[in-house]
Structure 1
């Protein structure tokens, strides 16, 4: 026999069924075994009707536990080629049909194709005998025509490449008689009687020939010893033994027991049993008791590995005669394999705005068991928003069944449970993690709609005054916020110029120094915008309150500050507690900083008192002859700020009914108090000045006669317009702790308080002399009180007058 020639030509047959989006048929290929690695089976892409240009995007690949070891798909041209050597006998043994199947999965869009590749046998195995030499003993009395069973040869190939027949080497006594019963058992037939004395032994060559082209052969040596008579061969009770056992049968369990009978006696009737096979998987799985023919399991059986066993048992007597019987063992499947879940395709992360019904993964579920034990059902465990949709055969799609929200759940652990229909059923679970990617679907959110910020005035420009933060529950760039300030005023000095904001941290800085007296509060709008596409934003209102600081000292409105001293007449007859004058002051600050307190210097505290809150100056006792007539009173006005600010005003108070009466007394008291003083000089100068002014007023009086009617009403009352107009903005600041505004005094003064002029006043004899100033909380007195300066006995005809020096 010749061996298999190199470079043997092979042919691939191809059957194709059109598939579109689901498996509606199978693609069939047929190849011969033992092909070289890298041999092309066929162009799978072309046979599937796929465009070669789309192969890379569609990611076609093989899904199989076994086939992917032997076949690969070229992703560039779609060729299906052999990845490893294929031995049909290793894969399928002696089975009539041998095929490998797998699923070809293509993505974008998802398609599943079933491919079946039939493995054709080649004549790569010669027939083989179990032993290289067999020994037979024949009695010389054996009659011609006697038959002797020989051990058969085994050829792993099938069909025409399998065992075809036997040949016996040329001799004068023996020929072959072929017997076929599934497996060919050669029989040696004696044609001529034996003569032990002529020839005691024979050596014959038995050749087994297969049907391949060229044919292959195997040989064994038959040694025949001629002995005395042993004319009965063992006989099995059955030619074929069939049995079914469970794959879960324990080790060393009895499968069956074969039995053979031999009519001979003694040694020729003693039978020994053995396996007549060279297959390792049989010899490794079973043992046979040589004495009684009991066959037991040697290892655990597995239906998924081998579904049935077929072998020959030999019975041999002591005389060397043998007989054979066939044993068929079928393995019954049990539900001993849990379903296997594998991920074929997975898309992760998934955008959170994915529409319901979107495929996120493809899984394959297989069970090695058969029948109901291999039928699998799948379901999603838990309340994840995903569901399974059967795709094809054992494939399932995992699709979204509702809308997703990354801010609520950023990742899902999808638990897939597969169960078969065995009894009891077996379960398996697989967890698939699907992450969600963020989209910009959430706007920034501030904690408050409005923020109130209190900033002390006179702050340094550039100092941080507040920090504001917004939150965005998106992630990455979608949550990266930028802050800006938007003014809500249209004036020349918009609020956005007062403050600035760090666009990253949200820290707000003052752009200028604030002045409470100019601007007590202003409103700005802060906008937070994320970096998503398109961006989203939110805004909040920032109300900045300027907090007053004690930066303005009190301002004394009355008495007004002038170049010369201020004199006021205090009636000699004033009673204790009489109101003499009132100091009026204001403070541009507010609150505690504008609460004013009035104090007298300690040197005058024994003669006059001042109300700490209203500034009213009153007499502390009734005047006596020994009292000093002239008093210089200094009033200090302090606010309630920290540190406190103050202002002072000085009043010259003269006690008497008229200056004429007062001057001599003042002069005498001054001589007594200080003989060396220059008071007399001042009095002389004062009298000279008074005389000059008197002459001047006489001239003015003559002129005023002609305009008496015109100016009568004008001199009736001098109202508060003599004082500077107070800004109405100050009014709201002074609500407690000082005099209410506007506060006016009606005083007898010249027409212009800034000039040292005199005005003649018409006396009113019916008005008694009471006080120099009659003031209350509603105003600063009136002109009638000034008329009290005129003496009771002085009349216009006498030319006497009272002088008020302002």
Structure 2
């Protein structure tokens, strides 16, 4: 076996010498030739030189170690003997490797993901490359290409032996969402060979960025009278995260008169939503909060400050609409009697107030001559000294005007009350007020205790306590004969006279007011004691008033009280009289009717001065009648029901103000025979005219009109075969008795006396009494009693026959 080592890079045509074969024979029987089994890479070249024969291995095709690293062949040596003999030798060709193959990656493009903010050393992916060569030519070294990917080298690194790529820096989705890493694999051959691949790294977003709010103010200061809808600022919101992490909602957190209105996507307008009032709120801090939809959500807050500028929209305001000022009389001129102050809710110039008199005119006195006002401070200064006795009060108005544009103003009424001071002494009234005269009074010696001597009258021009006067006697010691009323000023005796008393008593009366200090006045009276009342001389200069006279005012009051009392009593008596009068008339009008029965079956019905007698057959069970009085159309008509001939029922009262409508002269009466022999009938009224009672209840209908009556209209006969027996009855009315001629009844008229009695025939006799006398002028008859008895007998027979026939039919 021969081993050959041939490099795979050997070119075709190269020959390789082989070992020669030996043969013990010589000559022709020695080795004569060589043979090589057939293969695609090598051939055999045989060379003869004399008796020696050699062979060479010739390379026909380039070798490839990666395809066939070892080639085994058989070399055969043949001698020239006959038969020829041969020997073989195995050739093993070992192909030596050359670095002729580059590394190959398992994939040309690798894809992977990494979460942003992944910590350093996080493994992304491991790349793999292989080299078909052997030995050092197949050993791979990995690296990242440095050209044009500096940012990648800062973020990632690869392990040279294993090809594992790890995170090196801070991966931020918001900075770079995708990374493309180019990896190089090189073998260790000489010269080395290398290959490249790409790794695509996608960064996975996390909700790690809160929304960013940007506010662009258009107006930092807004006037308080700004219109609603005015845009104050522009607001934009940005979230650097992606997907739903970047979806942001925005709102105003606190309650302010502004709102956000969306413009486009994350752009909004901050505008005025309600009327602003600087006097209530002068500065708004608007808190805007933006929140994304991450889990958990992130939010951010921005505060926008808006200043509200003032507008002159508030007039000056006084603390109260009316101000009362109290000034002491005789106060010094130039004193400040009151300081008027008005406040304005505005600021700056809009709140600067000036004061002035709006109008002043009280009792033709100019207020400007009495008081003045400081336009800046509002101090009201008196220009004169006031006298309560001349003027107790006066009024004026003060106007406060601000300095705004346009200016606003308001008014206040000032009432000045001049307070009284005790600056006037009491004044004695006549007759004791004359200067230079001697006041004297005379009293009899027989005067009893309490005898009225005189009365001192005084007045004080002051008011209140300053005008409250009191009277006192300034008398010498030991004189206790007289006393004076402290409040009345009446001088009276304290006791009876005695012989030791003087005949003349000089009295000094002191009149003092209640002021502080008190002022007083005095009056002197000489009281002379005389023997009798006849000696009392009336003083020539006056007639003293002894007692209080009855004043005219008291007289007027007494007359007024007496007049009112008399009027009240007369009214009360009139009301009682009217009430009793109405009660009596009501009872007389609605007096209870009287029903009187008779042995023959008839009965009498009387009401007030009218009386009705009715006779009917004994077998009448149910009957109705309507009564219309002849002479008194206003009296109510009565609907009367008779049950069984024994009981009477007053069904209803027709209204006395409504006259029943009567059809024309053609009447028709229809009746039907009720089962059991009892007659019933129904009466109808044309045009559905109905008569109603006092309470508006339907009572009875009138007969239906037909042409059954004759032209005179005085009689009406029921048609034959209408359920009434052959004894026909007729209806008459007139002023006389049964033989009187019939009266003509015009359409719309009512007979003077009418009864309508549905049911079995009955004989009705009506008498109308006026003042206790029978009036035969109104008499109506419906047949005679004899005829009624015959009809009753026939009716009974007919009833018995019908009952008998009915019983036979039932059997």
**TM-score per shorter chain, which class?**
0.5 to 0.7
What is the DSSP-based 3-state SS (H/G/I as helix, E as strand, rest coil) of the residue aligned with 1:477? helix
- Alignment correspondent of 1:606: 480
- Counterpart residue number, 2:383: 511
Q: Any conservation in 1 of the 2:443–2:533 contact (CA below 8 Å)?
A: no
Shift of 1:230: 4.1
Q: Note if 1:310 corresponds to 2:196.
A: no
Cα 1:554–1:778 change in 2 (3 A) is: farther
Inter-CA distance 143–641: structure 2 relative to 1 (3 Å threshold): farther
* Structure-2 separation of matches of 1:532 and 1:747: 81
Task: From 278, 281, 289, give the equivalent of 1:409.
Answer: 281
Dislocated runs of 4+, deviation >6 Å: 658-662
Q: Return closer, same or farther for 1:413/1:659 CA change in 2, 3 Å cut-off.
A: closer
Distance 1:341 1:601, change over 3 A: same
1:749 to 540, 556, 574: 540
TM-score of the aligned structures, taking structure 1 as reference length = 0.52
Deviation at 1:295, TM superposition (A): 0.6
What does 1:319-334 align with in structure 2 at a 5 Å threshold?
319=189, 320-334=192-206
Q: Which residue of 2 aligns with 1:691?
A: none
Tell me the CA shift for residue 480 of structure 1. Answer: 2.3
Higher relative contact order (CA 8 A, sep 6+): 1
Rg larger in 1 or in 2? 2
Shift of residue 301, structure 1, vs aligned partner: 0.8
RMSD: 3.4
Confirm or deny: 8 A CA contact 2:444 2:533 kept in the other structure. no
Compared with structure 1, are the counterparts of its residues 351 and 576 closer, same or farther at alpha carbon in structure 2 (3 Å cutoff)? same
What CA distance in whole angstroms lies between the structure 2 residues aligned with 1:386 and 1:420? 23
SS of alignment partner, residue 462 of structure 2: coil
The DSSP-based 3-state class of the residue aligned with 2:118 is coil
Distance 1:625 1:373, change over 3 A: closer
**1:288 aligned residue:** 158
Give secondary structure in 1 for the equivalent of 2:349.
Answer: helix
Matching residue within 111, 133, 136 for 1:242: 111
Distance in 1, Cα, partners of 2:210 & 2:116: 15
Within 2, Cα distance between the matches of 1:603 and 1:628? 13
Provide the TM-score with structure 2 as the length reference.
Answer: 0.52
2:496 aligns with one of 622, 643, 654: 622
The equivalent residue for 2:554 is none
| Residue of structure 2 equivalent to 1:439 | 311
Equivalent position of 1:722 in the other structure: none
| 1:571 corresponds to which of 418, 427, 444 | 444
Q: Does 1:400 align with 2:272?
A: yes
Closer, same or farther: CA 143–350 of 1 in aligned 2, 3 Å: farther
1:154 — aligned with what?
Answer: none
Contact 1:569 1:657 in 2 (8 A): no
The 1-side partners of 2:121 and 2:305 are apart by 46
CA contact (8 A) 1:486 1:496 kept: no
Pairwise CA distance, 1:518 = 0.8
Contact 2:473 2:508 in 1 (8 A): yes
Equivalent of 1:584 in 443, 451, 457: 457
Q: Paired residue for 2:122?
A: 253
Q: Report SS of the residue matched to 1:330.
A: strand
Distance in 2, Cα, partners of 1:259 & 1:611 = 141
Closer/same/farther in 2, CA of residues 550 and 273 from structure 1, 3 Å limit = same
Match of 2:228 in 1: 356
C-alpha separation in 2, matches of 1:411 and 1:373? 35
- 1:426-479 CA-to-partner distances (Å, cap 9, x unmatched) read 433322121211212222333322222322222222223333333332232222
Q: Deviations over 1:360-399 (max 9, x none)?
A: 1112222223444434443333442323233345432212
Aligned 8 A contact 2:455 2:545 in 1: no
The 5-angstrom pairing of residues 514-553 of structure 1 reads: 514-553=386-425
Q: Secondary structure at the match of 2:152?
A: helix
2:507 is aligned to 633
1:338 maps to which of 210, 221, 235:
210
Question: In 2, are the aligned partners of 1:359 and 1:397 still within 8 Å (CA)?
Answer: yes
1:555 aligns to 2:447 (yes or no): no
Q: Deviations over 1:494-517 (max 9, x none)?
A: 234433333334333333222111
* Paired residue secondary structure (2:350): helix
- Judged with a 3 Å threshold, the aligned counterparts in structure 2 of structure 1 residues 335 and 502 are, in CA distance, closer, same or farther, namely same
What is the DSSP-based 3-state SS (H/G/I as helix, E as strand, rest coil) of the residue aligned with 1:553? coil
Number of residues of Structure 1 aligned to a counterpart in Structure 2: 458
Q: 1:613, CA displacement in angstroms?
A: 1.4
CA contact (8 A) 1:579 1:774 kept: no
Superposed counterparts of 1:350-499, under 5 Å = 350-392=222-264, 394-420=266-292, 425-489=297-361, 491-499=363-371
Q: Equivalent residue for 1:655? A: 529
Distance 1:578 1:464 in 2: 56
Matches within 5 A, 1:90-105: none
Cα distance change on mapping 1:491 and 1:579 into 2, 3 Å: closer
